[in-house]
Amino acid sequence: DAGITQSPRHKVTETGTPVTLRCHQTENHRYMYWYRQDPGHGLRLIHYSYGVKDTDKGEVSDGYSVSRSKTEDFLLTLESATSSQTSVYFCATGSQGNYEQYFGPGTRLTVT
């Protein structure tokens, strides 16, 4: 398994506050992804990165931004959290030419 950690693992925050979630990998994988998981929706892609400083939007990117300043870290920021962003967030990584993705343990975010 790829070494993927996410921090924090749990967070409760208030509406309107900024939140940053961190994903850290030790596998030197080129590709990194942020998903959100909600009941009845499966996993939906928020943003992804195909290299340092190279990112693109996914299916549900509104209200989220990302940054990747080095290979091992991919940050997801909610500039002003809303209750609709209460979810479980998963980071994943993938290597060039290998279509598998490896998932982190998830961050449960509650916006009150």
Partner 1 sequence: AQSVTQLGSHVSVSEGALVLLRCNYSSSVPPYLFWYVQYPNQGLQLLLKYTSAATLVKGINGFEAEFKKSETSFHLTKPSAHMSDAAEYFCAVINRGSQGNLIFGKGTKLSVKP
Per CB under 8 A, residues contacting partner 1 are: 1, 4, 31, 33, 40-45, 48, 50, 58, 90, 92, 94, 96, 99-106
Nearer to partner 1, 11 or 44 (CB): 44
Question: In whole angstroms, how close is the CB of 67 to partner 1 at the nearest point?
Answer: 18
Burial tier of 47 (Cβ tally within 10 Å: 0-12, 13-18, 19+): buried
> Residue 46 CB: number of other CB atoms within 10 A?
23
Nearer to partner 1, 14 or 76 (CB): 76
Dist CA 90 CA 71 (whole Å): 17
Question: In whole angstroms, how close is the CB of 7 to partner 1 at the nearest point?
Answer: 14
Question: In whole angstroms, how close is the CB of 68 to partner 1 at the nearest point?
Answer: 14
Nearer to partner 1, 60 or 80 (CB): 60
- Size of the chain, expressed as the number of residues it contains: 112
Dist CA 79 CA 65 (whole Å): 8
